Structure 1
Amino acid sequence: MNSFVIACVCTGFAVALASGLSAQELKCVQKPIAWMVGQENRIVIETPGDCGQLEVAAPKELELFDRWPWRQGDTQQKLYFRAKSPLAEGRMAFKAGRYSLDLPVQVLSWPQAREPRQFEKYQLPRIFPIEGKDGYKQGITFVDEEWLGQLRKEGLPNADSLAKALPDLETLFYRMPASTVPRAVYVELHTRRGCPVCGPKIYQGRSAFYPWVLDYEKHPWKVGCPDCGRWFPSNDFAKGDMHSGDMPDDGWGYFPKGEKYPYCFISYYACMAYIRHYRSLPYAFAEQYSRSGDRRFARAAVVSLFRIAEQFFNLALNLNMRKTYTRQAVWNGRIVPQSGVNTLWAMMFVECNWEAGLVGGIYAPAYEMLWDYLQSDDAELLSFLQAHGHPEVTRMADVRQFIEDGYFRTAAQACMDGSMIGNQPQGQRAAAELALFLNSPRSPE
Structure 2
Amino acid sequence: MEEHSTTNIAALQAELEELRHQLWEAQETIDAIRTGQIDAIVVNGENGHELYTLKTADYSYRVFIEKMTEGAVSLNYEGVILYCNSQFASLLNMPISKVIGMAFQDFVPEGSKRHLRRLFENSWSKDCKEEVLLRTCDLEIPVLLSLTALEFNENMALSIIVTDLTAQKRTQQELERKNAQLARMNHELGLSNHDLQQFASVASHDLQEPLRKIQMFSNLLKEHNKKILSSESKRFLDKIVNSAKRMKALILDILSYSRLSAANNIFEEVDLNDIVKDLLEDFELIIQEKDAEIRVGELPQIEANRGQIRQVFQNMVSNALKFSKPDQVPVIEISSTYLGEKSFNAPPQPEGPYCLIRIKDNGIGFDQKYENHIFALFERLHSKDSYEGSGIGLSITKKIIEKHDGLVQAWGISGEGAEFLLLLPVSQEKNKHHVSTQEDLIGRG
TM range (shorter): under 0.3
Q: TM-score if structure 1 supplies the norm length?
A: 0.21
Higher relative contact order (CA 8 A, sep 6+): 1
More strand by share: 2
More helix by share: 2
Q: TM-score if structure 2 supplies the norm length?
A: 0.21
